Structure 1
């Protein structure tokens, strides 16, 4: 996710990044410019077109197109924001379950604390990889009940880790380390983890309907390709930059919507899940192990841990 200062106006205008739509659309804009130039030349010179301007048609269609694009961008942003709220809830739930386990367990029980510190962090990193279609096992750690080899064979790694966490909670209950009331409390925490995973999967696996997406692309294409016919008699050769600018604005809105409607990817505007995962890992270990045993790892290697 790109971090920026919203109070600065002029610097972002001249800056370009890999997801900047101008960089992506520049070749297409050149093609549209050449097409418009050819149509304009033929209309003004070969055909000597002097018909009355038809910009009213495109003005009317532009109003309709603008309303459709607003709906498109709003629906995409709603998906992005819902994903952000879910990961914010994951941060809070991870801290909450760590705090409760820390309160329920005696300080002398070190092994269960280490297990939960590793497993909660594993769950978060596994969810991040699951939403990106590939779990990075190097970000995970072995626990007493689950090895990396077993996790690598799982089809749904977050579910396997959640099952392991719940199994450990049941074991603590049977060993009389936690009471029945405490078991119920922790049961609700595990359920909240599963609810977050299901909600994230719903966003990822339910894109904008195909027919709607295709309609938008066709509408923008037809509108842009017919613009020279309506603008030539009014703007002459100024039609070329006007059409290129309109094409850039309309397609940019569609590209931005396509990028943010799946907030769990690795695009520049997607959620900073690496940063949030590392934050959860730090917080959980600090709560359960009474000290920060994490190495201040460089970005890209958040799984490095010092020996306790």
Structure 2
């Protein structure tokens, strides 16, 4: 079964970098085949001493650095969203059990603000993808707030303001203690920090000069390969050059895909699934009966946190 899954994964086309690099691979392979034709016709195209023009070691180090840098950005993005998920779950739990309910409207207000926590995650996802406020958010807030959110430059920050304003109003109504207010605001501040960290990854791409230089070296290296191999490989030159270029271009393309982990590519973070999971978690929590009495005392809250 493991071998079957291994071969199935190895032969998978969707989610691989093949669609992005096949044109480059075909070009390099065709160029290698063209050099084979010239060699067959007696044109002196064999230069075995070209292997030092672009050192394979230097190129390999550049590719490794490029891929490692991109993966660090990908993994940092995943840790940021993991922290965001935990913060939203903790904040939802504290809202549900720590804020007193003096009327039926208080219960409804708590539910609405817990949905705003999900809205914060969804708005952050859309913001990082440079997408406008859409129907995903419409069911998570009143119509007036939804239409106001459409006019904001940074929707998740506006949602965080609404949540913080709710905490302050509950404190003024004596439904929330001072320590509880500070604890809730600390978690909310951490959520805003995660937004800022995500924006930092998004707005700090790999330097353009580095990307251009790496692409130039890759192209030079792959175009020089046929001249090195044609004397010994003859008609197999094109196939071998295509195979080597497939490996090198594939590694470079993987780095390109994962350096911005917030998009829609198959190799990006599954932000849609993460947001859907948070929504289910909040909906499940709302079905429970809060026991606010156990959170009345500030000292008890301190012990819990």
Quickly say closer, same or farther: Cα 1:76–1:100, change in 2 above 3 A: same
Provide the residue aligned with 1:105 in structure 2.
Answer: 99
Where structure 2 has 5 or more consecutive residues not aligned to the other structure, the ranges are: 290-305
Residue number among 168, 171, 177 corresponding to 1:170 in the alignment = 168
Pick which of 98-107 and 259-268 moved more.
98-107
Between the two proteins, the alignment pairs up a number of residues equal to 284
- 1:22, distance to aligned residue in structure 2 (A): 2.6
Unaligned runs of 5+ in 1: 292-308
Deviation string 1:56-88 (CA, Å, 9 cap, x unpaired) is: 426x71111111111111111111111111111
Deviations 1:136-178 (A, max 9, x none): 4211136469521101111110011000100010000101100
2:56 is aligned to 62
The whole-number CA distance in structure 1 between the counterparts of 2:143 and 2:119 is: 13
Pair 281,144 (structure 1): closer, same or farther in 2 beyond 3 Å: same
CA shift digits 1:193-233 (9 cap, x unpaired): 11000000001111100000001100000111111112222
1:20 and 2:45 aligned: no
Q: Are 1:189 and 2:184 counterparts? A: no
**Alignment TM-score, normalising by the size of structure 2:** 0.86
- SS of residue paired to 1:266: coil
Pairing of 1:62-211 with structure 2 (within 5 A): 62-106=56-100, 109-140=106-137, 141=139, 143=141, 147-211=145-209
- 1:250-289 paired onto structure 2 within 5 Å: 250-289=248-287
How far 1:25 sits from its partner (Å)?
2.6
SS at match of 1:178: coil
Structure 2 partner of 1:295: none
CA–CA separation in structure 2 for the residues paired with 1:56 and 1:118: 61
1:53 to 21, 37, 48: 48
Indicate the RMSD between aligned Cα atoms, in angstroms: 2.2
Taking structure 1 as reference, are residues 52 and 112 closer, same or farther at Cα in structure 2, changes over 3 Å only? Answer: closer
- Residues 128 and 135 in structure 1, CA contact (< 8 A), matched pair in contact too: no
Larger mean CA deviation between 5-14 and 74-83 belongs to 5-14
Q: Cα distance, 1:40 vs. partner?
A: 2.4
